[in-house]
Structures are given as structure tokens and as C-alpha cells.
Amino acid sequence: METSINSLHVTLAHRVIEYIRTERLQAGHHLTEQSLEETLGASRSPIRGALAYLVQKGIVSPQPPRRGLFLTRNAADLGVIDNELTTTAEEQCYLALARDQLAGRLPAVLSENEAMRRYSLTRERMRRVLARAANEGWIEQRASKGWSFLPMIDGPQACEESYALRLALEPAAMLMPGFAIDSDILRRIRTQQQALAGGGYRTAGHVEMFQANATFHEALASLSGNRFIVQTIIRQNQLRRLLEYRETDDRERVRRQCEEHLAILDLLERGERGAAAQLLTSHLGNASHDKVLQLSKAAAAAAEKPTLSATAGAPARN
């Protein structure tokens, strides 16, 4: 029976590609549902759908009489493909919903009927899109009717506040008594950062670059042994996810950030936690400055557009 592809399958397919690139897997590698279940933390059914989607795109294929699915391409070839994967109607709707919310085009409370009309989806599919947004943490279903949008990092002020919180938490987490090095975690995030810094940043998909950054900071927070710090950093990544997807990526900035990440890992592995915390403070401070400046320029440009348009349409005065 042919699998009906939905937005969750597409999202997981991108994560499968991220895993393939991080581990530098080669054509012919055997991908199993069980191994992906453990790696991605997802159940078999959606993973099966993600693999079916990758079969459609020619990225994996069966090799009878052998059982299972096998990579048809090397990891190095998948960056551009990840960026170009066709999105489903639900995925397109999800991204449109995010863009509309960030642009202030939606009411504070959105009804399902209004969302269905706006995005031309059936009720069942629209509910899946809204449920995904709720899972990402930027919308919630009301007790009565409709869906309420939650605070997001949607401009320079919110971005500056988010980085201020992270600057207070992340370096301090490294200096906590419960902070403990986990070699497996450091190896995993080092491999991911090296793959990007070593040239992968040129072709990596937008999702992959954001996820690698988020994974690095969440992994270091997890070493603190403080579950509330981890939850806070995860939440901040959820709130900035949509903004990062929307912004045009500066690939040289991605390379520099990866190199700074690797330098922090070097210090941690040498036992120099104080120096690592100082470098992380500098890293977050620079990122805050760059991102707030970028968003401020974008906000100023957006504010000028109506004025320019109105000026262009006004009758000339003698």
C-alpha cells in the first residue's frame, strides 16, 4: 500500500538526511527503521513514512534480495538535495502560517475555519498543521474555540531579550558543580560541527544548519545535570526556530560559529571549563549583536516600504 506523505514525514526526512550527513554515510549504507527510531527518537510509523518519501526522491532504494533500504548517494551529495526537497501542501501551509504570524498578518486568536479558508486545506490537514505548530511551542489550542499564538522571537527586542537570558544561563551551566563531560555527546556534536566547518556549510540545508546549532547548545546544557536549564535552552531554540528559517543565511557566519563551537569543545576536553565558559560568553554576545543588528535593519526597511509606496503613488505638486 502506498504511504500517504504528510508534513511529519517530510520533517523526519530532513532529519534523516541530517543524520546521514553528520555520520558521513556512503552510498550503499543500510538504513533500518530500528536504527532511525533510536537516533531520531520517533516511532516506527512516521519513520516508515519518511523513508517512503526518500524512496520517492531517489535518495534511498531497496536492493532485492536484500531486505531494507539502502542509500543511493554519498552524504556529501545531499546538502543541495535537502534544500530542494519538494514540500507537501501541509509543509507549505506550516511555513506560510509561520511567515504570516511573523509578519503580523494574523489575529491573536485564529479559528480553524478561518485557517482552512486562508490556506485552502481540509479540516483534518489543517489540524495537523496547527498541532505541529503547537508541538513547536508557538501556538496553543484554547479551551473554548480557536488557537492562540504564543510569544515568539519575532524582532530585535525579543531577540535581544532571548540572548540576554541565554548569556545568563549557558556559560553559568558550564561552571555548575554537577557539570560532567560525556565523551559520547561531545564526539557526536564535534562530528556535526566539523562536517559543517570543513565545507558542509556551503551546501547544507537551512534546517540542517539551524538544527546543528541548536543541538550544540542543548547538548552542552544537558551536561550541567540541571533539567530546568536544559528545558529553558530547548524552549529558546523553539522560539527562534521560525525566525532563523525566515532569515537569509550568511554561510560565512555559519562557518565562523562552527569554528567557535569546536574551540569551546577543545577547551572542555582539556578540562578548562572556565575558559570554555568565557569563550561561550563571547560567542553568544557576538551572535546577539549580529542578529539584533540584522533584525533592526530588516524592521527599518519594512517600515519604509509603505512610505515609499505612498510617496510613489501621490500626485505631483506644482
Three-state SS across 149-162?
Answer: ECCCCCCHHHHHHH
Q: What b/e sequence results for 306-316 when a residue is b if at least 16 CB atoms lie within 10 Å of its CB, and e otherwise?
A: eeeeeeeeeee
Identify whether 308 is part of a domain.
no
Q: Are 165 and 28 found together in one domain?
A: no
Residue 315 has a pLDDT of 45
Using alpha carbons only, how large is the chain's radius of gyration in Å?
22
Q: Are 295 and 163 found together in one domain?
A: yes
Q: Are 168 and 291 found together in one domain?
A: yes
Q: Are 138 and 163 found together in one domain?
A: no
Give the list of residues 6+ apart from residue 94 with CB closer than 8 angstroms, or none: 7, 129, 132, 133
Query: pLDDT (tens digit, 0 to 9) for every residue of the chain, 318 residues total?
Result: 356 777 678 778 878 887 887 777 889 999 999 888 888 778 888 899 889 989 988 999 998 888 889 999 888 777 656 555 655 677 788 888 988 888 889 999 999 999 999 999 989 889 988 988 887 778 999 988 899 998 788 789 999 999 999 999 999 999 999 999 999 899 989 988 998 898 888 877 666 788 889 999 999 999 999 999 999 998 898 888 777 766 556 788 899 999 999 999 999 999 999 999 999 999 999 999 988 998 888 778 777 765 444 444 444 444
Q: How far apart are CA 54 and CA 50, in angstroms?
A: 6
Q: Are 40 and 98 found together in one domain?
A: no
Residue 14 has a pLDDT of 79
Q: What are phi and psi of 96, to 5 degrees?
A: -65, -40
Q: Are 160 and 297 found together in one domain?
A: yes
Q: Are 100 and 65 found together in one domain?
A: no
Q: How far apart are CA 184 and CA 157, in angstroms?
A: 37
SS3 272: coil
Q: How far apart are CA 153 and CA 291, in angstroms?
A: 11
Q: How far apart are CA 282 and CA 287, in angstroms?
A: 9
Residue 318 has a pLDDT of 41
Identify whether 99 is part of a domain.
yes
Residue 249 has a pLDDT of 60
Q: Are 15 and 76 found together in one domain?
A: yes
Which residues span the domain enclosing 57? 7-84
SS3 60: strand
Residue 309 has a pLDDT of 42
Identify whether 313 is part of a domain.
no
